[in-house]
Amino acid sequence: MPTGILPTFNMASVANPATDVRRQDLQGELEAAASGKTQVDREAKLQKACQGFEAIFINTILQEMRKSIPDDGLLPTSNATRTWQQLFDNQLAETLASRQEMGVAKMLYQQLQEMEGGKK
């Protein structure tokens, strides 16, 4: 039961078809990494899955940041504008995750490697 100190996070509040598809892809990548034939193949797939998780994480942050911007600008926000912003946020999240500057994917990868027993 939450104590009220930390905010709770509800994935339903950030429902996005593109993010949902990416989550399904991520699940497939994790399963493929678990069943990798060679150690190098397995590590590459695990790295890709961790990078995908970081992209989802960054995208969620961007969506929550967009919610904090008031919608009372000079021009009304249309469905086309919202769609464009979602596509832009998705691409920005993928790009930021591929640059590996936040370090979420790296930390997750290291933790999963340690859990597996192959400390690096």
What pLDDT, on a 0 to 100 scale, did the predictor assign at position 17? Answer: 64
pLDDT mean for each 10 residues of the chain (120 residues) = 48 59 74 69 87 94 89 78 92 92 90 74
Structure confidence at residue 58 (pLDDT): 94
Q: Find, among 54, 48, 18, 20, the residue nearest to 34 by Cα.
A: 48
Q: At what angle do helices 79-99 and 39-67 cross, to 10 degrees?
A: 140
- Other beta carbons within 10 angstroms of residue 47's beta carbon come to 19
Residue 7's pLDDT is: 47
pLDDT value of residue 6: 45
Neighbours of 86 (CB within 10 A): 18
Q: Alpha-carbon distance 20 to 33, whole Å?
A: 20
Largest distance between two CA atoms of the chain: 57
pLDDT of residue 115: 86
Cα-flanking dihedrals φ and ψ of residue 74, to 5°? -65, -40
Question: CA distances (Å), 78 to each of 42, 59, 112, in order?
Answer: 44, 21, 42
The DSSP call for residue 8 is P
Given this model, what pLDDT does residue 117 score?
75
Q: What pLDDT sits at residue 69?
A: 82
